[in-house]
Amino acid sequence: MENFALIFVAIFLGYALSRHNDFAKETPIILNQFIIYISLPAMALLEIPRLSLSFDVLIPVIVAWIAIGFSAIAILLISKFFKFTREVTGSLMLVGVLGNTSFVGIPVMQAYFGDSSIPYVLMYDLLGSFIVLSTYGTFISVYYSSAENIDVKAIAKKMLTFPPFLSLMVALLFIGTTFNPVVISVLSAFSSTIVPLALVAVGFQLRFKLPKEDIKPFFSALGVKLIFAPIVAIVVVYLFSWENDAALISIMESGMGPMISAGAVASMAGLAPRLSSAIVGYGILISFFTTWILFKVIM
């Protein structure tokens, strides 16, 4: 209950601050930069070494890629069926496919599964969602906006120099290692900042405008992201008979609301910015209810 109280209070504070003139529009960007460069790397270095070397570590990655892949296909088919514009299709291929598996995923998974879920969440996010955002997300934004040629080298460089990804690679080398108490204390202090800062940033960026012409693509995106994706994850887990925390956490992660970063990419590429923001804003709030239902179904 305490974790959910923190989630809603922090999001409300962020939304309230966004209405206050004393806070710059760049506030969520600054908060997210602190999380990306300091909080997430610290959390990866703190939590990943606590994993044991087993196949369970790979389950979140496998589920993430399969769920994302099928979601992208579903969005493409729905867009063709409803004859959405190129701009709207590009938006849905981002916000209807990629989930908020770290900024919202971490506090939600902590609420349901405790701190032991964090290593699996990080595997799902950094080796799943993040890599897909860096590669697929970049391709979609360029392809549907037709603004420039795709630079494969730039995409690879961006991915390989991303601080949380680098810290994950380093952390994997220390699996099974117990750090000095001083090191653990420092990493714990920095990693503990991710939840309040991330949720305040989420609240700061929430937007709730939805014109009539956006209703079909809006519900299409959230239908795929919040319902179809977790169903795909459940099927994958069932087919492979995975019955452990890694599998359950992977299913829950697949049902997280739309990724804020994906919405930002869509907006910057000119892919239905208003629609993208609405899907992310409403989607995050709705996901708190849908993930609760999902948790009841799989437990």
Q: Which amino acid is at 25?
A: K
Residues of the chain with pLDDT under 50: none
Task: Specify whether domain 2-203+213-298 bears CATH 1.20.1530.20.
Answer: yes
Where are the domains positioned within the chain? 2-203+213-298
**Helices 40-47 and 181-191: crossing angle, nearest 10°?**
140
What is residue 149's predicted lDDT score, i.e. its pLDDT? 60
Closest CA to 67 of 272, 188, 270, 225: 225
**Residue 53 φ/ψ region, left for φ over 0, alpha for ψ in the -120 to 50 degree band, beta for the rest:** beta
Q: Model confidence over 132-159: pLDDT tens digits?
A: 887 788 788 878 876 556 666 766 776 6
What is residue 152's predicted lDDT score, i.e. its pLDDT? 67
Q: What percent of the chain has pLDDT over 70?
A: 93
| Cα–Cα distance measured from residue 205 to residue 195, given in angstroms and rounded to the nearest whole number | 16
The 10 Å CB-count burial string (b at 16+, else e) for 250-259 is bbbbbbbbbb
What is residue 147's predicted lDDT score, i.e. its pLDDT? 52
Instruction: Please spell the DSSP secondary structure of 242-282, one letter per residue.
Output: --SHHHHHHHHHHTPPBPHHHHHHHHHTTS-HHHHHHHHHH
What is residue 153's predicted lDDT score, i.e. its pLDDT? 73
| Cα–Cα distance measured from residue 88 to residue 153, given in angstroms and rounded to the nearest whole number | 27
| Cα–Cα distance measured from residue 43 to residue 34, given in angstroms and rounded to the nearest whole number | 13
What is residue 290's predicted lDDT score, i.e. its pLDDT? 95
Which structure tokens are listed for 72? 């992208």
What is residue 45's predicted lDDT score, i.e. its pLDDT? 87
What is residue 214's predicted lDDT score, i.e. its pLDDT? 85
**Whole-structure pTM value:** 0.80
Which structure tokens are listed for 170? 């380093």
What is residue 73's predicted lDDT score, i.e. its pLDDT? 97
| Cα–Cα distance measured from residue 296 to residue 159, given in angstroms and rounded to the nearest whole number | 36
| Cα–Cα distance measured from residue 220 to residue 216, given in angstroms and rounded to the nearest whole number | 6
